[in-house]
């Protein structure tokens, strides 16, 4: 079965524009797009204000599109057209998946199933500019968290 959005014809730039509009409508205070040397979008970062313990605090998230992963999934799918098995198409699919992920996550939050921080914890930005997930996997604090046994 093909991955979601495998038929998209929207360019990464069109999807990024839609994503910026979605985030603005849903209350993002800032949206930043990271680009590669050719001007292609790589990742989106955005900041929202959350209330924790009665206090408002800014929290930022970063989500990267991963076209190589989308391409691998497309190439594993039988019966796709050759035009759907290219890196260019994989970039379109990867960005559409990022859009869908954020859209569904925001709906989940609106339905009070979780807070945005709960739903996107791994993508939250630390003060050093890496995501919580990256810190967890590569940092000493994360290594301790992942390897220490919990006391019973």
User: How far is the CA of 69 from the CAs of 44, 95, 124, in angstroms?
Assistant: 17, 12, 21
Provide the domain limits for residue 74: 12-126
Q: Is the pLDDT of residue 51 over 90?
A: no
Q: What is the pLDDT of residue 123?
A: 94
Domain presence at residue 142: no
Pair of tokens at residue 145? 């968290």
Domain presence at residue 33: yes
Helices then strands (H, E): number in the chain? 6, 3
Domain presence at residue 90: yes
pLDDT per residue as tens digits for the range 59-111: 999 999 999 999 999 999 999 899 899 999 999 999 999 999 999 999 999 99
Q: What is the pLDDT of residue 128?
A: 87
> What domain count does the chain have?
1
Reported for 9-12, long-range contacts at CB under 8 A and 24+ positions apart, including other chains, are 9/92, 10/92, 10/95, 10/96, 11/92, 12/40, 12/41, 12/65, 12/91, 12/92, 12/94, 12/95
In sequence order, what are the residues at sequence separation of 6 or more whose Cβ sits closer than 8 angstroms to the Cβ of residue 9? 92
Question: Which one, of 144, 48, 55, 145, lies nearest residue 102 by Cα?
Answer: 48
What's this model's pTM, rounded to 2 decimal places? 0.88
Average pLDDT, the chain: 91
Confidence band, pLDDT 50/70/90 cuts, at residue 2: confident
CA dihedral 8, 10, 14, 20 (to 10 degrees): -10
Domain presence at residue 57: yes
Domain presence at residue 64: yes
Domain presence at residue 31: yes
């Amino acid at each position: 079965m093909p991955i979601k959005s495998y038929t998209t014809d929207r360019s990464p730039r069109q999807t990024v524009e839609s994503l910026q509009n979605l985030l603005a409508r849903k209350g993002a205070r800032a949206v930043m797009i990271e680009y590669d040397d050719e001007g292609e979008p790589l990742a989106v970062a955005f900041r929202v204000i959350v209330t924790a313990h009665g206090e408002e605090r800014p929290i930022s998230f970063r989500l990267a599109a991963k076209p190589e992963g989308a391409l691998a999934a497309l190439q594993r799918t039988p019966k796709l057209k050759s035009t759907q098995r290219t890196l260019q198409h994989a970039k379109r699919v990867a960005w559409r998946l990022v859009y869908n992920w954020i859209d569904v996550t925001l709906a989940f939050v609106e339905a009070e199933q979780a807070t945005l921080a709960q739903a996107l914890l791994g993508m939250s930005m630390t003060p050093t500019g890496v995501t919580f997930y990256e810190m967890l996997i590569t940092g000493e604090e994360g290594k301790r968290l992942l390897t220490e046994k919990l006391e019973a």
